[in-house]
A and B are shown apart, each in its own frame.
Chain A
Amino acid sequence: MEQISIDLLKDPYSVAKWDRLLQQSVQKLSKASTDQYLPTVRAVFDALLTIYPLLENYWLKYAHLEYELANFVESKAIYNRALRYVSYSPRVWLAYLEFCLVADPVCVSNCLQYLKLFESARSYVGFHYFSADFYKLYLEFLSTYKNIDPTLNFQLKYERLLRYVLEVPMYNYSPFFTSMFDLIDSGELTHTSDKGLRKNITDIYVITQYKAFKLYDFEKKLHPYFDLKPIAINELKTWEKYMAYLELNYPHEYVIQAYERSVLATCNYNDLWLKYMNYLTNLNKLDSLNEVLKRAISLRKFNKKELIDRLIDLNLFNSNFLVSKNLLSTQVSINKLTSLEWLFGNTAVITRLFESSQPWELLVYHQLDNDTKLKLFKSCKNETKEYRQVLRFWLKYNPQYRNQFKTITDTTANDFDEELTAFL
């Protein structure tokens, strides 16, 4: 175990090593020896989940372990922590709800609380393509305790929810229709006034089937969980196309849930995050955008530059200049820094920035006056390929300076002998 810990110190992002450490520490654990080993196991889980809070399997394992050791309070706390990160996962919600129903049996005093909990779960995963099990549990709960508190009228709620579920396209949609037909046949339906109900439900079946099939075309090409395996470009494209399809055909809440799902599965790639942000920008939901951006940045280990750039832009747009500047201190982007300094009118700082890091590409984009540019170009000490490219590009539009940079312009003449000699 020590060896693995040392390995992990060198390579803290290797899930395989964490897994081995976990196995070894859990092996020693038994009901008899809890006190001795449990702290270690907890430490390992906590550390792993701090690094990878999106690995829902480990959250579930962790909570289940505590549950098996009859530590209900700890288990519940773990579920709550998990739901902070993976709240859009129906598996976690399902496990949590099942756990609650066992740990805290339903009675008159807490049944309203349970109802609210289920509703809150529905607001996160109610449109999920794999939410059938969640609804099954929900409906089971409503029908089992239908007589527990007459004022709450669970029977009616059961009927309403069942009717509602019929319209949600999902993987396993048909059992709900069976239940509905059973309900109609049993004659226990509270509202029986409508004669054509059976026909109406059959028609809903046709529609839901049609929609579920359409979604399945996308779903079958995706793997819906977060893991650390690389994702094929085709899969990312499918996600994007899927989201575009939903944007066009489904209501806003549905699309948001779907986007949350997609960024959960593809967290380490920019594509879906950016698409999500574009969607929010288009709807002018800038507060949500801000929240999503910050979340994305906090979840990412690497490759944050583009996201931070966006956050800076957003803050600039909102005129939060100081926030932007602070962000720049976490991620030095010379381009943005010079732009900002220029906005504040600090040309002296710009010159100094150039002297230290020489980001020539910026001179293509920055509309500094030509004298400043000329001075900057002249100050170059080490003529890199990039420098030559940018200078040539600039000279293209400012021919009056060409004679000051003879060496650069002359090589473009493309002499035959020189060209051929390059092959020798």
Chain B
Amino acid sequence: MNGHSILPVDRHPSTPAKGPEEFERLKTEVDTSPNNIHKWDELFAKIDDRINSVNPKDVSAEFKSFIHTCYTELLDRLPFLVEHWRRFSIIEYKLNGIKSSIEVLSRSVDAVQFSVGLWEDYLNALALEKDEKYGHALEMCISLNGHHFNSHNIWDKYLEHKKDNVLPVYLKLIHIPLYEYAKYYNQFAEINKNYSLKDILGDDLEENLQRFGKTSPDECSVIESHQIIDEFSYQIFATNQTRVNAKWEFESKITTLDLNLKVSSDTESDNWFAYLDYEIQHYKQDYNTITNLFERALIPNCFNQKLWLKYLAYINVSDESHKFQVMDSIYSRCVNKFIPLDVNFVRFSYGRFLLKHNKVDLMNDYLLDLVKFFGGDNNSKLYLKSGYTETVESLLVNWSKLVGTEAFLQISQSLLECYFEESKSITAEVETVSRSTVNLLFSRLNDQSILVVIKLYLNTLLSVSDLSNPKDVNGLRQFFNKHYKRPQLRSSVSFWKFYVELEGAGMFNFSHLHQIIKYIQKETTLSKIVVNKFLNFQYNLYTSNYKRFKADVDDDSIIRYQNNLSLNPTDNKYLLASYGKSIRDIKDQFEHPGIVIDNKPDITNKLMNQNFDLFSDEFPYPATFKNIEKANAPIPFPQ
């Protein structure tokens, strides 16, 4: 929740905590694969063994700090590992006594705010120590987890704590669907006669009195007022009971409440989704229960992007008054800590969220940081291509929404000119996106992301063009002529697709299309699947327009176009480029693409080639050969 830094990894370039030698190996292993929970457990088991075998007082300070670092590292990385927090607190208790154990527990409930189990441990420990923080912590816990289905232990403590004035607690409690809802109802039923009608019924007083034909509580006899109270509380009990029963359907299927990295179960998360769907459908207004349920569900499913998005979507449509703050904190939690780096939808959704709430600077900072991070800047070895290009695209799309078509064309054109060194600096002058911001993006572009700029530029340009106007068409074609030979574009699917579709389905200019596709086949490095898609597109165009086709293109026939589908005799990308040159090249490189093996041994006067006829009388002449000594030659692989 700290600002808008985006690093789900490597937040702690760990000061190498030196442990005893036998732990070094395991420590190195977990350092190299920090997500492997089995390795971590192995390490912790070994630590436990060691601790149990010696007197806690003999443990050196160095080893203590080593243990501390280990746990901190893991729990910083994967904060929802409830079980490990517990083990950490136990080990702290053994080594340093209850004070530091409480310290750990307090950190744990900070990290996993919605784990009732950890809160219980924490509160018990505080109670044991008679710590003055107890009251405050309990209030905090109730406010966070009061609607947790299994929070009865906490409520018990709370009732105990508030024993001087339990009525408001009960009045709140009996409405909440809890596992032990019946217990609280019974307890309430025992005490509720001690209070006046007004205390219990509050605002509902008049309504209930009317049903008994009374106007004020004073008119009721003792029996009558008891009856009113009973009926009132039973009504609440009955609604609550239906709800708890419905919830139990789902609750009973939950097998683990904590994050478990060792087994992954789809049915488990399906159950959570079904549970949430049910709750949202029937009790949409019960904000507290549902958000608590979301938070609970997120503990075991914290890597599940869909769940986070569902949570955000729920809050987005709810009546929450501080929507922005709440959603912002959820976004940054999931984006910074949990969602894996190859799942990025929610990251970009965050950008759009900031845009919607008009936090343009925040959005720019956030996405530009993300570009930098994915782009492998800042000496990190990480370069995630898809994440990187998608982020650039997301940022540019946001800009185009923000500034409108004309200004966006200006920005992207300026980026392109600078990138291809046609002008020295960004010249675009747009009010809402400052030049320095554009410059910052420019400094983070590379050959892959420039393709994104081109794609968005072209699509925007097309959207303002009128194809019946030759001037507009010329603009699009000029862009093609200017750029199509650039080496960056040789692998760009979007660029070629744009022009194939434009010339084909937009302009129906078959000779241009033909030229473009020939060029694609010869000079680009697009994959075979993509090229075949283009050829199929072309084929469909031609066969759909026999009439045009017959009139326009006379040097080639329809069936020849189909033939293009099997690109060349080798279907080989490396040879594709050389296809135009000679069949000999293909022949020589057929078996080992890229390695020329000419001088293959052969018979030069093969009978096979001369329509061998058995009815002739001559004995075949002696065979003549070429390169016979090469028959067993090794393949000349490059050194």
Which residues of A line the B interface, CB within 8 A? 115, 119, 127, 153, 156-157, 159-161, 163-164, 167-168, 190-191, 194, 196-197, 200, 203-204, 206-207, 209-210, 214, 240-241, 244-245, 247-251, 254, 274-275, 278, 281-282, 310, 313-314, 316-317, 335-336, 338-340, 342-343, 362, 364-367, 393, 396-400, 416-417, 419-424
- The one of B309, B563, B586 in contact with A248, judged by C-beta atoms closer than 8 angstroms, is B586
Chain B min CB distance to A262 (Å): 14
Are A164 and B310 closer than 8 Å at their CB atoms?
Answer: no
Chain A min CB distance to B554 (Å): 13
Bound Cα distance from A194 to B349, whole angstroms: 86
Residue B470 is within 8 A (CB to CB) of chain A in the complex: no
Are A417 and B356 closer than 8 Å at their CB atoms?
Answer: yes
- The one of B468, B545, B608 in contact with A168, judged by C-beta atoms closer than 8 angstroms, is B608
Bound Cα distance from A280 to B614, whole angstroms: 28
Are B540 and A365 closer than 8 Å at their CB atoms?
Answer: yes
Chain A min CB distance to B158 (Å): 33
Bound Cα distance from A196 to B622, whole angstroms: 9
Are A416 and B619 closer than 8 Å at their CB atoms?
Answer: no
Q: What residues of A have a CB within 8 angstroms of the CB of B317 in the complex?
A: 417, 421, 424
- The one of A366, A393, A419 in contact with B349, judged by C-beta atoms closer than 8 angstroms, is A419
**With A316-B558, A339-B544 in contact, do A240 and B356 touch (Cβ < 8 Å)?**
no
Are B313 and A281 closer than 8 Å at their CB atoms?
Answer: no
Are A167 and B601 closer than 8 Å at their CB atoms?
Answer: no
**With A164-B612, A282-B563, A421-B317 in contact, do A365 and B544 touch (Cβ < 8 Å)?**
yes
- The one of B467, B616, B625 in contact with A397, judged by C-beta atoms closer than 8 angstroms, is B467
Are A274 and B314 closer than 8 Å at their CB atoms?
Answer: no
Are A342 and B546 closer than 8 Å at their CB atoms?
Answer: yes
Closest 10 CB pairs of A and B: A365-B544, A397-B506, A423-B309, A244-B569, A424-B313, A191-B619, A210-B631, A367-B508, A416-B356, A200-B622
Bound Cα distance from A209 to B601, whole angstroms: 11
Are B628 and A420 closer than 8 Å at their CB atoms?
Answer: no
Within 8 A of A (CB), among B592-639: 601-603, 606-609, 612, 614-620, 622-623, 625, 628, 631-632
Are A420 and B622 closer than 8 Å at their CB atoms?
Answer: no
Bound Cα distance from A365 to B548, whole angstroms: 12
Q: Name which residue of chain A comes closest to B630, CB basis.
A: A210
**With A153-B617, A164-B620, A313-B562 in contact, do A254 and B608 touch (Cβ < 8 Å)?**
yes
Are B463 and A399 closer than 8 Å at their CB atoms?
Answer: yes
Are A365 and B505 closer than 8 Å at their CB atoms?
Answer: yes
- Digit string of B463-476 for contact with A (CB within 8 Å is 1, else 0)? 11111100000000
Chain B min CB distance to A71 (Å): 33
Bound Cα distance from A250 to B615, whole angstroms: 24
Q: What residues of B have a CB within 8 angstroms of the CB of A416 in the complex?
A: 349, 352-353, 355-356
Q: What residues of A have a CB within 8 angstroms of the CB of B619 in the complex?
A: 156, 159-160, 163, 190-191
Residue B571 is within 8 A (CB to CB) of chain A in the complex: yes
**With A207-B628, A423-B313 in contact, do A164 and B607 touch (Cβ < 8 Å)?**
yes
Which residues of B line the A interface, CB within 8 A? 280, 306, 309-310, 312-314, 316-317, 349, 352-353, 355-356, 462-468, 501-502, 505-506, 508, 540-541, 543-548, 557-560, 562-563, 565-566, 569-571, 583, 586-587, 590-591, 601-603, 606-609, 612, 614-620, 622-623, 625, 628, 631-632
Bound Cα distance from A187 to B557, whole angstroms: 60
Question: Could you jot down 17 A-B contacts, CB within 8 Å?
Answer: A163-B620, A164-B607, A206-B601, A241-B570, A241-B571, A244-B571, A245-B590, A248-B586, A248-B587, A274-B565, A281-B562, A281-B563, A310-B559, A316-B558, A362-B544, A421-B316, A423-B306
Are A251 and B466 closer than 8 Å at their CB atoms?
Answer: no
Count A/B pairs, Cβ under 8 Å. Answer: 175
Chain B min CB distance to A239 (Å): 12
Are B631 and A206 closer than 8 Å at their CB atoms?
Answer: yes
Are A197 and B316 closer than 8 Å at their CB atoms?
Answer: no
Chain A min CB distance to B312 (Å): 6
Q: What residues of B have a CB within 8 angstroms of the CB of A153 in the complex?
A: 617
Q: What residues of B have a CB within 8 angstroms of the CB of A314 in the complex?
A: 559
Are B547 and A343 closer than 8 Å at their CB atoms?
Answer: yes
Are B631 and A207 closer than 8 Å at their CB atoms?
Answer: yes
Q: Name which residue of chain B comes closest to A204, CB basis.
A: B623
Q: Name which residue of chain B comes closest to A115, CB basis.
A: B614
Q: What residues of B have a CB within 8 angstroms of the CB of A191 in the complex?
A: 619
Bound Cα distance from A164 to B545, whole angstroms: 52
Bound Cα distance from A398 to B313, whole angstroms: 36
Are B570 and A244 closer than 8 Å at their CB atoms?
Answer: yes
Bound Cα distance from A400 to B550, whole angstroms: 30
Are B614 and A313 closer than 8 Å at their CB atoms?
Answer: no
Q: What residues of B have a CB within 8 angstroms of the CB of A365 in the complex?
A: 505, 540-541, 544-545
**With A365-B545, A397-B467, A419-B349 in contact, do A335 and B540 touch (Cβ < 8 Å)?**
yes
Bound Cα distance from A168 to B616, whole angstroms: 19
Chain A: interface secondary structure?
helix
Chain A min CB distance to B477 (Å): 14
Chain A min CB distance to B611 (Å): 8
Q: What residues of B have a CB within 8 angstroms of the CB of A244 in the complex?
A: 569-571, 590
Chain B min CB distance to A84 (Å): 25
- The one of A204, A251, A275 in contact with B608, judged by C-beta atoms closer than 8 angstroms, is A251
Q: Name which residue of chain B comes closest to A390, CB basis.
A: B505
Chain A min CB distance to B531 (Å): 15
Q: Name which residue of chain B comes closest to A252, CB basis.
A: B609
Chain B min CB distance to A256 (Å): 13
Q: What residues of B have a CB within 8 angstroms of the CB of A194 in the complex?
A: 622
Bound Cα distance from A188 to B92, whole angstroms: 101
- The one of B547, B571, B609 in contact with A251, judged by C-beta atoms closer than 8 angstroms, is B609
Q: What residues of B have a CB within 8 angstroms of the CB of A200 in the complex?
A: 622-623
Q: Name which residue of chain B comes closest to A396, CB basis.
A: B462
Q: Name which residue of chain B comes closest to A122, CB basis.
A: B614
Q: What residues of B have a CB within 8 angstroms of the CB of A249 in the complex?
A: 587
Q: What residues of A have a CB within 8 angstroms of the CB of B570 in the complex?
A: 241, 244
**With A248-B590, A278-B566, A335-B543 in contact, do A397 and B559 touch (Cβ < 8 Å)?**
no
Q: What residues of A have a CB within 8 angstroms of the CB of B466 in the complex?
A: 399-400
Bound Cα distance from A204 to B609, whole angstroms: 15
Q: Name which residue of chain A comes closest to B277, CB basis.
A: A424
Bound Cα distance from A52 to B544, whole angstroms: 35
Bound Cα distance from A420 to B583, whole angstroms: 56
Bound Cα distance from A196 to B466, whole angstroms: 80
Bound Cα distance from A196 to B623, whole angstroms: 11
Are A366 and B607 closer than 8 Å at their CB atoms?
Answer: no
Q: Name which residue of chain A comes closest to B502, CB basis.
A: A397
**With A248-B569, A281-B560, A397-B502 in contact, do A420 and B544 touch (Cβ < 8 Å)?**
no
Chain B min CB distance to A416 (Å): 4
Q: Name which residue of chain A comes closest to B561, CB basis.
A: A313
Q: What residues of B have a CB within 8 angstroms of the CB of A393 in the complex?
A: 501, 505
Are A420 and B563 closer than 8 Å at their CB atoms?
Answer: no
Are B609 and A316 closer than 8 Å at their CB atoms?
Answer: no
Chain A min CB distance to B405 (Å): 12
Chain A min CB distance to B411 (Å): 19
Are A367 and B545 closer than 8 Å at their CB atoms?
Answer: yes
Chain A min CB distance to B471 (Å): 15
Are B602 and A207 closer than 8 Å at their CB atoms?
Answer: yes
Q: What residues of A have a CB within 8 angstroms of the CB of B612 in the complex?
A: 164
Q: What residues of B have a CB within 8 angstroms of the CB of A336 in the complex?
A: 543
- The one of A207, A275, A343, A424 in contact with B601, judged by C-beta atoms closer than 8 angstroms, is A207
Bound Cα distance from A248 to B572, whole angstroms: 14
Q: Name which residue of chain B comes closest to A394, CB basis.
A: B505
Q: What residues of B have a CB within 8 angstroms of the CB of A275 in the complex?
A: 566
Are B313 and A317 closer than 8 Å at their CB atoms?
Answer: no
A157-B614, A420-B309 known, 8 other contacts, Cβ within 8 Å: A115-B614, A160-B620, A206-B601, A274-B565, A282-B563, A335-B544, A399-B466, A416-B353
Q: What residues of A have a CB within 8 angstroms of the CB of B546 in the complex?
A: 316, 339-340, 342-343
Q: What residues of B have a CB within 8 angstroms of the CB of A207 in the complex?
A: 601-603, 625, 628, 631
Bound Cα distance from A402 to B612, whole angstroms: 70
Q: What residues of A have a CB within 8 angstroms of the CB of B313 in the complex?
A: 420-424
Bound Cα distance from A161 to B615, whole angstroms: 10
Q: What residues of B have a CB within 8 angstroms of the CB of A367 in the complex?
A: 508, 544-545, 548
